[in-house]
Amino acid sequence: DKGNHRHFMEKEIYEQPEVISHALSHYVDFASNTISANAAAIDFKAATGLAISACGTAYLAGLVGKYWFELYARLPVEIDVASEFRYREMPLSPTQAALFISQSGETADTLASLRYCKDNGLKIGAVVNVRESTIARESDAIFPIMAGPEIGVASTKAFTCQLAVLASLALGAGKARGLIDTAQEKEFVRHLAEMPRIMSRVLNEIQPQMESLSRELSKCRDVLYLGRGTSFPLAMEGALKLKEISYIHAEGYAAGELKHGPIALIDENMPVIVIAPYDRFFEKTVSNMQEVAARGGRIIFITDEAGAAASKLPTMATIVLPNVDEIIAPMIFSLPIQLLAYHTAVFMGTDVDQPRNLAKSVTVE
């Protein structure tokens, strides 16, 4: 049932504040300000490293997770798309742990990667939406994302719930490894607790601007997304979302890679969507944006209040989100990305919930 919404995708985008709050309550105890993300089967404290694998949007959630596990838990992460991971014959040690991320829990390549790790003696964690799935069944620990059924082929709420779970796990691992003290834990919990409310506010506030911008985007043949740090996987996720439902060609690039190739494409016909919260990467990303502007590129700047105040570059549009802590920024910055893709597809009249050539669950290689 789509409720008041035109498409399941729209409904699922607007469900995010609610489902993410379910997801968080499974991993965070808001009464005692503690992150209780632990599973007896996986010892993040003793682990010497983490292997992560997944496909598509779930892979991009894993890539954000890599930044978090390395930053907050000092756990080195090896990550690859499952279709490569399963065949790479990479050397693994039983002292590493492994995480597989899958909404459906049935993706063939992800399952094969899981079995490869199992054969190598690693303990397996499954970050899944469907708890009765094959991937969940074959794992030592299940980390449910609690997003509820996701019907739209384009993953939206599963992505942000995957992020919320991975953030909790990375912080839980950091705590177990003695890198996050009680005061810091309390601060993280405070930021996570605020997230659902901020998401609701952002969804309501940016909707009209996303709708009008989508008219511009629908005229384009190509779109480039740029980001640094955790905004780099978000740039790739923005591009994936746009291409899969609107059929507009889009690429997500690490902002620093611009001058190593894609800058040759910049002209007034290819909008560049820059994702840049005011974090420690901001100045660097803005200097890349400057390179785009200097070549006549049109910029759609997705930033926060501090970022909007700090940059004076002319843009085609600036989307201003509230200033939020670094730990929740990826979830908040996912929202304009999803809405832009959604409205562009609606404007172009494509089958948003069931895009051509795609299946919700890819159970064959």
- Name the residues that contact ligand M6R, by CB under 6 A: 55-58, 102-104, 107, 110, 153-155, 240, 244, 361-362
**Residue 146 or 324 having the CB closest to ligand M6R:** 146
CA angle 352, 355, 361 (to 5 degrees): 110
Structure tokens at 176: 């177990």
Q: Is 123 exposed, middle or buried (0-12, 13-18, 19+ CB in 10 A)?
A: buried
**Residue 33 or 361 having the CB closest to ligand M6R:** 361
Q: Which DSSP state fits 228?
A: -
Measured between alpha carbons, how far is 60 from 54 in angstroms, rounded to an integer? 8
The number of helices, as runs of H, and strands, as runs of E, in the chain is: 12, 12
Measured between alpha carbons, how far is 234 from 239 in angstroms, rounded to an integer? 9
**Residue 96 or 134 having the CB closest to ligand M6R:** 134
With CB atoms as reference, the residue minimizing the distance to ligand M6R is 56
Distance (Å) of CA 231 to CA 8, 40, 79, 176, 281: 26, 32, 17, 27, 9
Measured between alpha carbons, how far is 220 from 249 in angstroms, rounded to an integer? 9
Provide the minimum distance between the beta carbon of 343 and ligand M6R in the complex, in angstroms, as a whole number: 16
- Confirm if 279 and 71 have CB atoms less than 8 A apart: no
Provide the minimum distance between the beta carbon of 188 and ligand M6R in the complex, in angstroms, as a whole number: 26
Provide the minimum distance between the beta carbon of 52 and ligand M6R in the complex, in angstroms, as a whole number: 13
Measured between alpha carbons, how far is 1 from 332 in angstroms, rounded to an integer? 26
Measured between alpha carbons, how far is 317 from 277 in angstroms, rounded to an integer? 15
Q: Is 360 an annotated catalytic residue?
A: yes
Q: Which DSSP state fits 98?
A: E
3-state secondary structure of 124: strand
Provide the minimum distance between the beta carbon of 141 and ligand M6R in the complex, in angstroms, as a whole number: 18
CA angle 197, 332, 184 (to 5 degrees): 80
**Residue 238 or 307 having the CB closest to ligand M6R:** 238
Provide the minimum distance between the beta carbon of 313 and ligand M6R in the complex, in angstroms, as a whole number: 31
Active-site option among 118, 243, 284, 360: 360
Q: Write down the residue that tokens 């009209």 correspond to.
A: 208
**Residue 102 or 344 having the CB closest to ligand M6R:** 102
Provide the minimum distance between the beta carbon of 325 and ligand M6R in the complex, in angstroms, as a whole number: 26
Distance (Å) of CA 58 to CA 33, 110, 240, 249: 28, 10, 12, 20
**Residue 143 or 278 having the CB closest to ligand M6R:** 143
**Residue 12 or 304 having the CB closest to ligand M6R:** 12
- Give me the helices (H) in the chain, please: 8-14, 16-27, 56-72, 82-85, 108-119, 134-137, 157-176, 182-217, 231-246, 282-294, 305-310, 329-348
Provide the minimum distance between the beta carbon of 37 and ligand M6R in the complex, in angstroms, as a whole number: 20
- Confirm if 27 and 165 have CB atoms less than 8 A apart: yes
* Residues known to be catalytic: 360
